[in-house]
Structure formats: structure tokens, C-alpha cells
Structure 1
Amino acid sequence: MKDPLISIILPVFNGERYLAKAINSCLEQTYETIEVIVVNDFSTDNTLTIVNEFVAQDKRVRLINNSENKKLPASLNIGHKEAKGEYITWTSDDNIYQKDAIYKMYTTLMKSNSDIVYCDYLIIDDEGIITGQAKLKAIEYLMFYGVIGACFLYKKEVYDRNKGYNEKLFLVEDYDFWLRAMKHSSYCKVDNPGYYFYRYHENSLTTRMKLDQNLKNQFLSNLYELYNDLFADSRMKAKEQIITFLINRFVYGPNDNIDVIHSKTFLKDLEYASTLLIGFSVEKFKRIVADDIIETIMIKKEFQKPKSFFAVHRLGKDVILRLAIGRYLALIKKCFL
């Protein structure tokens, strides 16, 4: 039986420095039944010349030229609408696939009977030297930040059911896509960092977001809109409180504040929100919240009081019973002594 076609979409804007390596890593896949759709987002550098050379050499490469700079989410939608594959992934002009990446993700998707597979990945610098690795969390952490990362594969119907990427949510378009997909699609995680090389460099969007205040503000604004749309259910009374909590958790990590845990409405609504997502364990979600709160209590003196201890217990007996006895005793000591 013939292998199904897999579409690799590669949006690019002024990516001449690493683009050839990125495209080559797609074409050198051991899984050969692929198409590479490069969406040139009105680049002003040598991007177009580089892509045209690949188009002339390999019929699996197709080029789409945007008539103006449309940004990443719009370019992704343009690429997806042209894609002919049953399975889809997308990559960046500065990142590289390991040769077995597509094959390994495809076979995992088939064996797990999932809709989406995602993988750990390695981090490289400007010169391609490995500097670290990203160990991604379980899917229950997706509510808190984008655990899917940069290496993934999904069935085309996931995109169709999601009705594409939200073009208004630049900088969080992928996170929004993954969260919305949890309403109808199943995930599988692969614990292997070797399938993908994610490059950190001074001109990458990831780096620029840390330095450019306007990009930071746009990110926070769109993150709010993302959660606001996700929790559109009128039955949620603590919606604004939940959004604030999740944004703080996304941006500052787990050790910011625990005041929300004193609200019974907050806990009830957060649990309800998690039930709307497929394959999302409410109990695991509550344990994540509990671990966050306990860690915050342990390191922040202002929360070391009996009130905090009883707030942890509101998360449920099953959560408390799963705590290591030493950690539970340490929590008692911090809150009462």
C-alpha cells in the first residue's frame, strides 16, 4: 500500500540565513512521500531566489508568494489550504528536522491511534551546536502554557475541525490552535529529543519577543483574547479571575500568587473548563494546581499560614493523598509553625 502524503508547510519572512538548511532537512527525510509548501511572506532578502532553486531541483517543493506581509497565522492558513497531504506539520526557516522525524512521528500517530503527536526537541545555537534540550510536559499542562513545542504532526481533519489558525492572534496562534484542538482531538507525546533542532539566535521571533516591548504587549493582549474565546461559556462565573490566573502562570511561572485558591467559584469553574477538553484528566489538572500552590507556599513567606493549608485541602482528598508524606509534613510545618 502506498504511503500517504504528508505536507510540510514552511512559512518564511526574510529567512535567507538558514532557509536552505531547513528545506534540505525536509527533503532528506527517510519518509519520502512528502510535499514542502514554502509560503514566502513578502520577503525582501534572498529568500525567493533560494526557494526557486529548490523548486527547480525537486518537484516536491512548491512556492507560494504573498503579495504583502501577512504574518505567521495567515501564512499558515494559506499553506494549509494548498496542502494535499492527509497529515500536516509545519516548521520554521531556522530550524532543522532529523532525517527520521517525519517517519517516527507518522508511525507513532498510527500506533497510538491519536490525532496529534508532539515531541521533545534539541536546542541549537547560530552555528548549529547543541546547547540543550526541551523536555515537554504532559498534555494536562497545555492549559498553562504551550507544551506542544516545535515538533509535531497532525491529521488534516484537526486543522479542518479547528477551522484553521486564528489570524487575529499573532504570537499565540499555535497555542490557540492546540487548545482549541483539545475540544475534538487526541494527543500523544513522544519522549525523544532527537527528531528536531530548534535554533535560538538574535533575529528569531522568540528572542525578539523578549527584547521588544511592543511585541510583549501584543503577546499579552492576544493571550487574553485567546483565553477569553476559549472560556466563552456563560456558566463560568469566575472567568476573568481564571484568565488572570492563567496569564500570570504562563508568563511568570507557578510561583506568583495563590490568592485565587481561596475562591470556591474559581476552583469549580476551572474544573468545569478542563472537562470541556478531550483527554484532559481533571484529577491530573488539580494535582498540577496543587503542586504549584504548595511550591509557592514553600518559598513565599507571605503565604505560610493556616489559611493556605486549608485552601490546598479544598482541591480534594485524592490530591492530598497523592502527596509524599515528607512534603505534606513540610507543608504543615510552614503553615502552622
Structure 2
Amino acid sequence: MSSQAAAQPLVSIVVATYNGAKYIESQMDSLIAQTYPNTEIIVVDDRSTDNTLAILERYARQYPHVHVYENEVNLGYIKNFEKGVTLSKGSYISFSDQDDVWVPEKTAELMAAIGDYPMITSDSEIVNDQLEKRWNHSDLKEIQDFNNPLVFATDNCVAGHALIMKKEIADAAIPFPDMPHDLWLGFFTTLHGTIKYLDRPFVKWRQHGNNVTSKHTGTKKRIDATKFRLMTFRDCCPPAFAKEKKVFAELLETYESYSLIHNFNRMRLYFGNKKYLLAMKKRNPFRKFLYCIKMFFQMREHP
């Protein structure tokens, strides 16, 4: 290791793979090309049935800072990322999907800006299968600094591929519950400080219809998932966040059924906490007002 690399904190890039042979080489090439001088790349393959593992093992033979592991059983992507954290040695953790492409400066720029923040996140370019840009993530969501767990109550714009966080906080967040790892880690981090936002896109976020986040489920399952997330957030709020814990609990209660009292209370909670509950929505004040009204008639499903 060079003296320059030794002077910089180690960043562990955790990659979760499963049948990703079609795109994994372009992603691995972009991770190898990171200009930050001190990284390890931890790849955990979740029992792929294509030639993903063979491709990864070729990279591990060629690059000493690439470490490849194969699960004994299929864990699913959430637990796969969790396992990657446990295998990491860095002071900081960065997460990578198998089908994106990172710009070379991503890790260096985020590490230069993270300071004492527990997490930093950035914008992304949403691209198609051929990496042709469609729009930026910030065109769809109001990404900003976040310092309150309520912003994650029914939404998320802190993408796993776009963040770097302190390893000690990722460790403390284990075990990851049954929800997207980036949603959980974003929420958990706000219990320990502010998530810093750097307004630059560093990832080509490939959308091709087979992404895990593109999968669709029925309305009842989505509502049940939202209730589970609200319950989990409620239970994890420490005493310092008693006010937020109360809001999570009251909001969860309104999801029990459609009734006059539940519908009214849900609308009331949105009006009273719209600074946080609608923080990620790209809407002007009047449209946010209308959105709160809509919550009388509708339960917001967590994406």
C-alpha cells in the first residue's frame, strides 16, 4: 500500500450479486477505477446460477483488494448486504448494486465532503439498459440534508448506491430488518446525526425492469410492508426521539383500517408534520397542502 493510501481511511465497497453476469463486468470495472487510493471491494454472491461467480473470481485473482464470497444458501439481497458489512474491514462503508456504473471520482469526492457526518449521499443519473440518461434522481425527489427520522416514515430517496457511511453505524444497525437496506440505514443514521447531501451525480443507475426495486407487489402487501416499517421505526426510536416515536405510533394506528377517525388522524398527522413527512416530495406548498388532504382518503404506501 502506498503512503498516500495509508493516510486515507479504508473504504469498504460492499457489492451484493445474484445472477448479474450481464452487467457485473462494467460495474466491477468502474469500482476498480475509483480514484480514491484506499478501498477494498467485498463481493458477496447469493448463490448465482449463471456465471457471475466465475467472473468475480477472475477479478479477485487479478486485483488483491477484491474479495469474493459465496453464500452457502440464498439469503436475499437485504441479508446479503448485511453479510457484506460484517465481512468489511473499512472505517467507512459504501454499497454497490451489480448493474450500475460509478464515475471514477465518486468515492474520492464523497470522502472529501463527509467530514464528521455519519453518512453522506449524492445524486444519481437514472439511465436505461444502454446507460443512456433519462433524468437525475433529484428531478424526481427532493434530496437534501436529512436530520430527522420522520422523513423516512413513508418515503426514501437515500439510495444505497449513492451513499458512504461510518462503519460503526452500519454495524450498530445489524440485524437489518425486512426492508430495503438503504431505507433502514437512512432512518438509523438520523438517530445518530445528519445525513449530508452532495448535489452531484456519481452513479449511472441502470433501470431495466429486473431491478429488485422495480418488482411490484399487491396493494395489501405494500400496505402491510408500510405498517411493518412504521412499527419498526417506532420501536427503534430512543428516548431522545420521543416526539418522533409518538408520531410513528399514531401514524401506524391510522393504517389499521379505513374509518372516519383513522382517516382524520392520518390527515392531521400529515398536516402537523408535513415538514418531515413530505420532505422528499418535489411539490410546491399548495400541492403539499392538497397531498395532506388526500391522506384523508388514502393510505400512503411506502415505495
Shared fold (TM-score greater than 0.5)? yes
Q: Which residue of 1 aligns with 2:34?
A: 29
Q: Which residue of 1 aligns with 2:196?
A: 188
What code does the residue aligned with 2:32 have? Answer: L
Q: Which residue of 1 aligns with 2:168?
A: 157
What does 1:66-145 align with in structure 2 at a 5 Å threshold? Answer: 66-110=71-115, 113-135=116-138, 136-138=142-144, 139=146, 141-145=151-155
Q: Which residue of 1 aligns with 2:157?
A: 147
What code does the residue aligned with 1:153 have? Answer: I
In the superposition, relative to structure 1, how do residues 259 and 44 fare at CA in structure 2: closer, same or farther (>3 Å)?
Answer: same
Displacement, 1:128? 1.1
What code does the residue aligned with 1:243 have? Answer: L
Q: Assess if the C-alpha contact under 8 Å between 2:13 and 2:42 holds in 1.
A: yes
Aligned mate of 1:285, from 245, 253, 276? 276
Q: Secondary structure at the match of 1:17?
A: coil
Q: Which residue of 2 aligns with 1:316?
A: none
In the superposition, relative to structure 1, how do residues 262 and 198 fare at CA in structure 2: closer, same or farther (>3 Å)?
Answer: closer
In the superposition, relative to structure 1, how do residues 299 and 34 fare at CA in structure 2: closer, same or farther (>3 Å)?
Answer: closer
Displacement, 1:295? 2.2
- How many Å separate the matches in 2 of 1:286 and 1:67? 40
- How many Å separate the matches in 1 of 2:152 and 2:232? 16
What code does the residue aligned with 1:229 have? Answer: T
In the superposition, relative to structure 1, how do residues 231 and 23 fare at CA in structure 2: closer, same or farther (>3 Å)?
Answer: same
What is the TM-score when the length of structure 2 is the normalising length? Answer: 0.77
- How many Å separate the matches in 2 of 1:161 and 1:67? 25
Aligned mate of 1:60, from 61, 65, 69? 65
In the superposition, relative to structure 1, how do residues 81 and 286 fare at CA in structure 2: closer, same or farther (>3 Å)?
Answer: closer
Bigger helix fraction: 1
What code does the residue aligned with 1:191 have? Answer: D
Q: Deviations over 1:54-97 (max 9, x none)?
A: 01110011011001110012111211111011111111000111
Q: Secondary structure at the match of 1:99?
A: coil
- How many Å separate the matches in 2 of 1:228 and 1:294? 30
Q: Which residue of 2 aligns with 1:295?
A: 287
1:223 aligns with 2:226: yes
What code does the residue aligned with 1:198 have? Answer: W
Q: Assess if the C-alpha contact under 8 Å between 2:34 and 2:107 holds in 1.
A: yes
Q: Which residue of 1 aligns with 2:204?
A: 197
- How many Å separate the matches in 2 of 1:237 and 1:35? 41
- How many Å separate the matches in 1 of 2:255 and 2:27? 34
Over aligned residue pairs, what C-alpha RMSD do you find?
3.4
Q: Which has the larger radius of gyration?
A: 1
Displacement, 1:175? 0.9
1:18 aligns with 2:9: no
Q: Which residue of 2 aligns with 1:242?
A: 251
Q: Assess if the C-alpha contact under 8 Å between 2:118 and 2:192 holds in 1.
A: no
Q: Secondary structure at the match of 2:205?
A: strand
- How many Å separate the matches in 2 of 1:164 and 1:107? 29
Q: Secondary structure at the match of 1:192?
A: strand
What code does the residue aligned with 2:50 have? Answer: D
Give structure 1 stretches of 5+ with no counterpart.
248-256, 272-282, 304-337
What is the TM-score when the length of structure 1 is the normalising length? Answer: 0.70
Displacement, 1:217? 5.3
Q: Which residue of 2 aligns with 1:306?
A: none
1:179 aligns with 2:187: yes
Percent identity (aligned): 19
